[in-house]
Each structure stands twice: as C-alpha cells, then as structure tokens.
Amino acid sequence: MQKNYYLISILIVIFSMIPFFMMFERKRPHAREVMMLAVLVTTAVLSRAVFFMIPFFKPMLAVVIISAVGLGGRCGMLVGTLSAFVSNFMFGQGPWTVWQMIATGLCGLAAGILFSGRYRDNLFYTVCVCVYGFFAAVFIYGPIMDTYSALLYTGHMTGKQFLAIYLAGLPVNIIHGFSTCLFLALFCRNMERKLRRIKIKYNF
C-alpha cells in the first residue's frame, strides 16, 4: 500500500508540470527568450552549488523568485522546475527530484502572480518580496518536501506521523526561509531592475 501511495504521488507531480511546459512550447519562444531562461537557470543552479557546504542555506529559491518577479509567473515556474532538475545532476537524482521541481516551480509561479507587473523599485515592495520568500520556503517548499518524506518513510498514512515529520522539518524550513529572505534582501532590487529592462528591450 505504501508503494502505491508513493508511485501515485510521483505520477501526480509529474503530470501536474506537463501543462506548463506545453504552454511554453506552444508559445514558440524566440531564441533570446530561451537564452534568458537558460541564464537564469544556470544562475540558480550555480547559487545552489556555491553554498553546498552549508546545509539548507541556499540562494536558489531566491533566484527563482526574482526571475518570477521580473519576468512573470510562467518564467518563475520554468526556472524553478528546471533549476531543481539540473542542479540534482550535481547533488543526486532520485524520486525526490520531481517533488523539488514542483515545490520550487510553485514558489516561482506564486511569486509571479503576486508581484509581476506590480513590483515597484522601493523598500516597501522589496520587504514584501523578502517576506514572501520566507513564507514560500517555510509553507510551500518545505511542506511539499515533508510530504514526500512522509510518503516515503511511513508505513501507514496517519495524521500523527505526518505531523511528526512536519514538525521535525520545521527547523530546516526556517533556515531555508531565512536564507531565501536574506538573499532576496541583498539582490532582489538590482536583479529585478535588470530583468525589467531586458523585458522591455526585447518585448518578452
């Protein structure tokens, strides 16, 4: 029964990402858009690799959120899913990869919905993005990955087991949220400003 839950959950996660990639393909993006996407994914992957020695303290989610704020939710979703997939060639591929892809992608999608087209280059909006980054890591990314852990390691689907795993993962999620908030505070305004100029210049 546990294996059935696990397999079904992985299939659901995979199929939930297919529409976003189909939308991107249907749009027939120009080479400059693909190149911009590749640059953002590379930046996110390298940001994760640079801090590999510090557990759970990663800037990758911050890069994904900045991409979404500057270029929209669809870009945030794509950068998030692809960054998780590509970076795991260095950190290890496995069934957890699809969960990381959907978790990171959803954080980017939500950031684009909340802030893309509304972001202003001032302190208030930067604080709002930083607060969102913290909550996205703690309440979106973290619980999705904790659910993966619960489905993988628990023999029976009980509420107490789920709660124990979520509580055990909370300190890790808080560290991740703090690092995301910190890197957003350091780089959000400058990177978003550059992405906005590129978006206007090339009519993305």
Determine the Cα–Cα distance for residues 20 and 16; give it in Å rounded to an integer: 8
What single letter denotes the amino acid at residue 155? G
d(CA 118, CA 16): 27
**Angle (deg, nearest 10), helices 96-115 and 2-26:** 50
Quote the CA–CA distance of 8 and 169 in Å, as a whole number.
Answer: 23
Tens of pLDDT along the chain (204 residues) come to 444 555 665 666 566 666 666 666 666 667 777 788 889 999 999 999 988 888 889 999 999 999 999 888 888 988 998 899 888 888 887 778 888 988 999 999 999 999 877 767 778 888 999 999 999 999 999 999 998 888 777 656 677 777 888 888 899 999 999 999 999 999 998 888 888 888 777 776
Q: What share of the chain is helix, strand, coil (3-state, %, to 5)?
A: 85, 0, 15
What domains, with CATH codes, occur in the chain? 2-202 (1.10.1760.20)
- Pair 44, 87: CB distance under 8 Å: yes
**Angle, CA 93 vertex, CA 90 and CA 99 arms, to 5°:** 115
Q: How far apart (Å, rounded) are the C-alpha atoms in residues 101 and 54?
A: 21
The DSSP string of 118-173 is: T--SSHHHHHHHHHHHHHHIIIIIHHHHHHHHHHHH-SS--HHHHHHHHHHHHHHH
